[in-house]
Amino acid sequence: MWSMFFPFGRRRATEDRADEPVLDRRPLPLRRATGNRLAVIGFAMLIFFLLFSFVGPLVYRTNQDVISLVDANQPPSAAHLLGTDANGFDQLGRLMKGGQTSLEIGLFAAVVAVTIGTLWGTVAALSNKTVDSIMMRVVDVFLSVPFLFVVLILAVTFVPSVLSLSLVIGGFSWQVPARLVHSEVLILREQDFISAARIAGTPPWRLIIRHLVPNTLGVVIVNMTFQVADAILAVAYVGFLGFGLQFPDVDWGDMLSDGMQYMQAGYWWLVYPAGVCIVLTVVALNFIGDAARDATDVRLRHR
C-alpha cells in the first residue's frame, strides 16, 4: 500500500527481515497494518489541519483585521467558539491564520532544506575524495552549531516574514538530508545502471537529475516529513520567544506566548488550543514519517 504514496523506495534484493526483532511474534502483516494504521491517522490529522487552516477561514469568517478592545479576552461563546484574544480577535479564526503561516513555513523550510541537502550530498558523493571529505566536514560543522541559536540570531537581524523565516530555518537544517543522500549516492554510484549511463556519455548534471536524485527520493521524502515537523517546532520556538512574525501576522508559537500572561487569570482558550495544534500537527507528521521510513526500509532516524 505504501508504494502508492512512496513509489520511489528502492527495493532491497532480499525481502528477508533479519533485522526485525525476533521477539515480536505477531505475524508480519499485522505489524505492517499497525504501522499503516498510525500512518492513516497521521495523514487524516494532517489533512484536517490543512483544511482547518486554509479552507476554514472561508467557512468560519471572522474579523482578523480591526482591533476591537470591547470584545477583548471573552470566554468561548456562540459568537466566538473559542473566545477572543487581548485584541478582540476571534481565537478560532486566529488559530486558522496561525496555522496557515506555521504550515507554510514548515513545508517551505523543509523543501529548502531537502533541496540543498540532496544537491550537497549528491555532489559530495560524486566528487573526488578531497572535495568529498571537505564537503562532509562542512556538514559536521553546521551540525555542531545548535540550530535554534543561529535561527534566533538571524531572526533578530532580519525582519521575520514567512519567506525569510522559511529560508533561514531551511538554510540551517539541510545537514541531515545531505548525510543521508551522501551515503545513498555512495552506494548508487557503484551500480551498473549508473556506469551504463556514464559510458553512454550522460553529462554529470543529467546523471544527477535523471538517475541519482530519483533513486534517493525514498530517503529524501521520509526525511522531509521529519523536516516539516522540526520546522514547525522551530517556528513555534522562535514565535514563543517573541522573535517570530510581526504583528498582523501570527503563528501558533506566537499565540501561545501571548496567551501565557493570562494563564493565572484562567484564560485557557488563549493558551491550550494553540499548543494542542502544534503538538497534534507534529505528532501527525512523525506518524507519517515513521511509517514511511519503515515502508522504505530506511533504518536511519534523524537527530
Binding residues for other proteins, per CB under 8 A? 21-24, 26, 137-138, 140-142, 144-150, 152-154, 156-157, 229, 233, 236-237, 240-243, 253, 256-257, 260, 263-264, 271, 275, 278-279, 282-283, 286, 303
Give whichever of 154 and 212 is closer to other proteins, judged by the CB atom. 154
CB of 74 to other proteins, least distance (A): 21
Give whichever of 72 and 279 is closer to other proteins, judged by the CB atom. 279
CB of 114 to other proteins, least distance (A): 20
CB of 302 to other proteins, least distance (A): 11
Question: Residue 205: what are its φ and ψ, rounded to 5°?
Answer: -65, -35
CB of 287 to other proteins, least distance (A): 8
Give whichever of 126 and 271 is closer to other proteins, judged by the CB atom. 271
Give whichever of 154 and 188 is closer to other proteins, judged by the CB atom. 154
∠ CA 7-20-118, nearest 5°, is 40
CB of 49 to other proteins, least distance (A): 13
Q: Which three cell numbers stand for residue 58?
A: 472561508
Residue 89: CB partners within 8 Å, gap ≥ 6? 62, 63, 64, 67
Q: Which three cell numbers stand for residue 243?
A: 522573535
Give whichever of 92 and 274 is closer to other proteins, judged by the CB atom. 274
The DSSP code sequence of 271-282 is THHHHHHHHHHH
Give whichever of 107 and 283 is closer to other proteins, judged by the CB atom. 283
Give whichever of 8 and 142 is closer to other proteins, judged by the CB atom. 142
Question: Residue 177: what are its φ and ψ, rounded to 5°?
Answer: -60, -35
Three-state SS sequence of 27-82: CHHHHHHHHHHHHHHHHHHHHHHHHHHHCHHHHCCCCCCCCCHHHCCCCCCCCCCC
SS3 state of residue 153: helix
∠ CA 103-222-17, nearest 5°, is 150
CB of 203 to other proteins, least distance (A): 32
Give whichever of 155 and 188 is closer to other proteins, judged by the CB atom. 155
- Whole-angstrom CA distances from 47 to 51, 114, 224, 285 are 6, 22, 17, 11
Closest by CA to 221, choosing from 291, 124, 173, 122, is: 291
CB of 235 to other proteins, least distance (A): 10
Strand stretches in the chain, DSSP E: none
CB of 28 to other proteins, least distance (A): 15
Q: Which three cell numbers stand for residue 229?
A: 515537523
Integer Cα distance of 181 and 37 in angstroms: 28
